[in-house]
Structure 1
Amino acid sequence: MLCRAQAAWRTSTQVVSKCSFHSSAAQFAKKHPKQIKKENLAKRAAKAAEFERTKPSPIVSQHTPFFETLHTPASAYASSEDTQHFLTKADRDFLFEQTPRDTVEASNLGAVEGVDEALKHEQGKVEVMKKLVGLQNGNAKAVQLWNIQRTIDWFQKQPGDTGSPEVQAGILTVRIHNLYSHLQQHRKDKHNYKQLRSMVHKRAKILKYLKSKDLERYNTCLSQLGLQPRAVEGEITL
C-alpha cells in the first residue's frame, strides 16, 4: 500500500514538473522573438556607437614622412637655410655665392680694396638679403606657401605637375591643417569653419575620383597623407 502511494506521489510530481516545464517553455517561446529583436537592436546600436566613436578624424592626419618635410611656424622661425619666394638651391647659390663675386669683378673693387676685402664688403649685403628672403622672417602665409611648394615637389608625377589628384589632395591637406590650427585658437571664426568643411569635402571628392581611376595610387596617397579610408569615404561629419 505504501509503495503504491509513493509511486502515485512520484507520478503526480512528474506530471506537475512536466506541466510546469511545458508552461515555462511556452511562455519563453512567446517572449523569445521580442527578446531577440530587442537584443539585436541593442547590439546594432552598440556597434553603430562604437563605429562612430572609433571613426578616424577627417581633419587630423597621422604622422608620416611627408609631414616631416613641412614647417610649422615654430620650426620655420628656427630655420636659417630655407627661404621664401620659391627660391631653389640654384637660385640661392646664384644670389649668395656667385653674385658677390661677379659684383666684385664687374666693379673693379678688388683692384682698389683687394679681392678679400671687397668680397667681405659684399658678404655684408648678402647677409641682409638672406634676412629679407629667409623663411624665419616670413609670416604664416609665407610658411603655408613654402609647405605647398614642398607638397608639389613630394607628390608631382613630373616637374611642373600641379593638377594630379595626389598633388591637389596634398595641397588641400596642408591648407586643412593650417586652417584647423587657426580655428583651435579662434573658435568663433564661423566663416573659416565653413571653409574648413568645404575643403574637407573637396578633398574627399578628389580622393574618390582617384580611387575610381587607380586603387593602388589611391591607397598610396592615403598612406602618405596619414589618412584612413573611413576618414574620407562615405558621410563625413565635422
Structure 2
Amino acid sequence: MPPRLPLTRYLRIPNGSFQQGAAPQLTRIVAPISCPSRPFSTTSVDKAKVGERRHRDPYALAQAHQRKVANLARQEVLQKERAAALGDPVRGITTPFIESLDYAVPHAAIPTDTSTSRSPSTSTRREPHLNYFLTPSEVQRSLEYSYNLTKPPVASNRNIVDPAREAERARVHAERHENAQRAISRIVSLENGNSKDRTRANVQKCIDVFGRHNTDKYLTPRSPSIVSRDSPLSPPPEKTPRAGPDTGSPEVQVAILTAKIRVLANHLEGQGGREAGGKNDKHNKRNLRLLVHRRQKMLRYMRTKERGGERWQNLVQTLGLTDGTWRGEISL
C-alpha cells in the first residue's frame, strides 16, 4: 500500500469586525493539521495473497460445500431420531382399543374374577354398541314381542282349518319378520350412523373401560402420601361412594379427548368420508390444537399424581400414548 500522507484543511475565518449592512471579508488561511502517518500497511502481502487464493480456490470451496451438506444432513437425521423417540403427539401408537374407536366396536371387558387375573385381556367381549341409546337385549326383546304380536292366530277347531293355507300364512309371517329384523339391524347399527353417534358410543366405551368404578377391581391404587413424623399416624378418611359410573377421573377424560382427537385427525387427513378432506378447514385445525394441548395438561397432571403407577401404565398402554403427547412443546 502507498504511504499515508498528512492532509491539509482549508478554513475560512472572517477578517475584521462585522459592520451593520456590510458583509464581512473572508480570508483563506491554510492551517496544517498534524495526523499520525502510516508509511506502510501492517497486513502482510503474502497473507493477503494466501487469503485471496483460498477464497477463490475451487477445491477449498468444494470442501466447504461438502461439509455444509454433511452438517445439514446430520441435523435432519437427528431431528428425525428425536421425533421418532418422542412419537406422534396426535395419534401416538395404534392399539386394538384405538382401532375400535374408528368403528365404535366394543372392546374387551374387565375381568369379573379378580383373584385369577389382574388384566382385562382375558375377559369376554362386551355387547356391541347400537345407535339411539339402545342395547342388543332391548332390541331382541322388542323383536320377540313384535313376532308374537303379529303371529297368525291358531284356530281352536282344527276340523275347519286348511293346513296348506295355515302353513302359507306362517311362512309369509316368518319371511316378513326376517325382513323387519334385517331392517331394524341396519337402522340401529352405528356403521350407518354419523360421526356424532359414533363419538357418543366411544365416550360411553371410554367410561366403561377406564372408569374407576371398574378399574378399582383389578388395578392397585397409588400409594398414599408420606406422613410426617410429627403428625400422628391415623387411617385415611373414608371416600364418599360414587353415585353412578365414574366420568370425571383424569384417565377417563384423557380417553375421551383421545377419541375426539382421532375423529378430527381423520377428518383433516381426508379420511372422514369427504374427497377433499380438511386441508383448508382452519376451524377444526384450531379445535384439534386445543384438544391436543388440553390432553397434554391432563396427562402431566395424572403423571404427577399417579407417580407412574398401574393406572398410568394401563392408560398409556391401552391408548398407545407416547412421550410426545405430554412431554415438551407440541406444535401442529
TM-score by length of 2: 0.48
Long gaps (5+) in structure 2: 1-70, 106-127, 156-165, 214-243, 270-276
Deviations 1:201-223 (A, max 9, x none): 11111112211221212232112
Contact 1:155-1:167 at 8 Å conserved across structures: yes
User: 1:110: how far off?
Assistant: 3.0
User: 1:50: how far off?
Assistant: 5.8
2:288 matched to 1:181?
no
User: 1:137: how far off?
Assistant: 1.9
Aligned to 1:235: 329
Aligned to 1:27: none
Aligned to 1:191: 283
User: 1:93-172 to 2 correspondence within 5 Å?
Assistant: 93-96=140-143, 98-104=144-150, 109-111=152-154, 116-117=170-171, 118-158=173-213, 160-172=245-257
CA RMSD, aligned part only? 3.1
Return the alpha-carbon distance in structure 2 between the equivalents of residues 63 and 226 of structure 1.
Answer: 6
Long gaps (5+) in structure 1: 1-41, 76-80
Contact 1:70-1:147 at 8 Å conserved across structures: yes
Return the alpha-carbon distance in structure 1 between the equivalents of residues 251 and 319 of structure 2.
Answer: 9
User: 1:102: how far off?
Assistant: 4.3
Higher relative contact order (CA 8 A, sep 6+): 1
2:177 matched to 1:92?
no
Return the alpha-carbon distance in structure 2 between the equivalents of residues 200 and 130 of structure 1.
Answer: 36
Contact 1:62-1:226 at 8 Å conserved across structures: yes
Which residue of 97, 100, 118 maps to 1:69? Answer: 100
User: For residue 205 of structure 1, what is the amino acid of its counterpart?
Assistant: K
User: 1:95: how far off?
Assistant: 2.6
User: For residue 150 of structure 1, what is the amino acid of its counterpart?
Assistant: K
Evaluate the alpha carbon distance shift between residue 125 and residue 182 of structure 1 in structure 2; reply closer, same or farther with a 3 A threshold: same
Q: Is the helix fraction higher in 1 or 2?
A: 1
Deviations 1:76-127 (A, max 9, x none): xxxxx7531232232232233x3224424xxx73337679454544443333
Q: Is the strand fraction higher in 1 or 2?
A: 2
Which residue of 193, 201, 225 maps to 2:319? Answer: 225
Return the alpha-carbon distance in structure 2 between the equivalents of residues 229 and 58 of structure 1.
Answer: 8
Instruction: Give secondary structure in 2 for the equivalent of 1:109.
Output: coil
Contact 2:103-2:191 at 8 Å conserved across structures: no
User: For residue 182 of structure 2, what is the amino acid of its counterpart?
Assistant: E
User: 1:52: how far off?
Assistant: 4.2
Identity %: 31
User: 1:235: how far off?
Assistant: 1.9
Deviations 1:11-66 (A, max 9, x none): xxxxxxxxxxxxxxxxxxxxxxxxxxxxxxx9xx9597466433311101212131
Aligned to 1:7: none
Aligned to 2:305: 213
TM-score by length of 1: 0.65
Aligned to 1:4: none
Aligned length: 185
Instruction: Give secondary structure in 2 for the equivalent of 1:69.
Output: helix
Contact 1:86-1:149 at 8 Å conserved across structures: no
Evaluate the alpha carbon distance shift between residue 231 and residue 134 of structure 1 in structure 2; reply closer, same or farther with a 3 A threshold: closer
Return the alpha-carbon distance in structure 2 between the equivalents of residues 193 and 48 of structure 1.
Answer: 28
Return the alpha-carbon distance in structure 2 between the equivalents of residues 228 and 237 of structure 1.
Answer: 15
Contact 2:206-2:252 at 8 Å conserved across structures: yes
User: For residue 99 of structure 1, what is the amino acid of its counterpart?
Assistant: Y
